[in-house]
Amino acid sequence: MLFNQNQLGVMMGQNMLSTGPTSATPRAVIFDIESREVGTWTIKNNIGTVTPAFPTSGFPTKFKFNANGTTLAMCYSLSPYVYFYNKIGNDYSKLDDFAAGHIPNKTSQGVSWHPNNKYVAAVFDSNNNLGQCVVWERNGDTFTTITNTSSFNITATIAMSGCAWNPQGDTLILCATGAPYFLAYSFNESTKTFSKIVNPLDSTPTVRIDDLAWNHNGTSIALAAGNTSPRLWIYNRNSLSSTSTFTKLANPASLPTRELYGVAFGGTNSEYLVCNGNTSPYVHFYYRTGDTFNKAANPTTLPTGLDGNGIDINPEGTFVVSVHYNGPTTYFRRDTNTTNTWINIGGQVATGNYGRGPDIHPSFRI
């Protein structure tokens, strides 16, 4: 997406993010973010035409644009459970549903695009007919399951909660609500096969994991954990080998005290880590120096409502969107004169909102 900058330094452009209400229609909402000048945004619902319209029943759980921002994947509670929309300008056009034999039958809880945009992985509630992790190969606008995904060998009664390809595209990691909570697989694109990485973590969480994120170069991952401390787990990857393992870093000096439901890395070198969860201050901001994560002071104005239900940060580490159960989707900007000062710039008024899994369009630059 292109921007024009005039001699006064005012940058113009439209960038997209999506959240999901569950008791308003349509169920999916996409907001324009118009960057008027550095550090200032106007946010409005002005997305052009969606054909056909977004669903008016059921509920979305996660959203993810592909790497070049041309297609939006939306996890959902109703068949076909993963929807795809091509984005042309500010218009969205729904792609055909999966063909027979390639359609899951349980709610999808997470989705991730391969960095080359050719594959997309999604994870599901327990006892999904195609297994709790499914990978489709994209040809044109048709998605076909890779036949060997049964090799994931995930116990049918375990619900999966998230997935993420690494930036190199040779590793897919999954998180779950039950043991073993974390799974890692190497991916051989030439054969389209997956191999489980055995015992990838030197220190394995023993509680539900609700979200996970890679840093920009695939050398670290962060996990948002459930009801036992530490709620935030951060690991370094020992090498970029497809079979390499992960070593847990020392806990940040200041940790969230309750469950986390969202986590994301941002910044040129992934120096910013953000997460949200179910107790005040709801949103947590960290700045990384080496392998130390320093928590920022809370913004002067904190989110209202209940649990933080997912979070994202733009690539430059200047803008954060945080969605909340029965509360407004809230936006934060970083004071660009500092490394770790965040300002609440407001958000949408909540009307029966139950936002989950937001995603900022990859073109978002300030």
Q: Residues 144-200: pLDDT tens digits?
A: 999 888 789 899 999 999 999 999 999 999 999 999 999 999 999 999 999 999 889
Q: What is the mean pLDDT of residues 104-133?
A: 97
Over the stretch 42-91, which tens digit does the pLDDT of each residue have? 666 657 788 998 888 888 899 999 999 999 999 999 999 999 999 988 88
pLDDT of 34 over the 90 cut:
no
pLDDT of 366 over the 80 cut:
no
pLDDT of 240 over the 90 cut:
no
Which segment, 243-257, 264-278, 330-344, is predicted with the most confidence on average? Answer: 264-278
Q: What is the mean pLDDT of residues 24-53?
A: 70
- Predicted confidence at residue 13, as pLDDT, reads 40
Over the stretch 293-334, which tens digit does the pLDDT of each residue have? 999 999 999 887 678 999 999 999 988 999 888 777 888 989
Top-confidence residue, 331 or 41: 331
Of the CATH numbers 3.40.50.150, 2.60.40.4070, 2.130.10.10, 3.40.47.10, which one belongs to the domain with range 107-360?
2.130.10.10
pLDDT of 4 over the 80 cut:
no
pLDDT of 140 over the 80 cut:
yes
- Predicted confidence at residue 18, as pLDDT, reads 76
Top-confidence residue, 16 or 56: 56
pTM score: 0.91
Q: What is the mean pLDDT of residues 127-151?
A: 93
Over the stretch 251-265, which tens digit does the pLDDT of each residue have? 999 999 899 999 999
Token pair for 69: 């921002």
All structural domains of the chain with their residue ranges: 107-360
pLDDT of 133 over the 50 cut:
yes
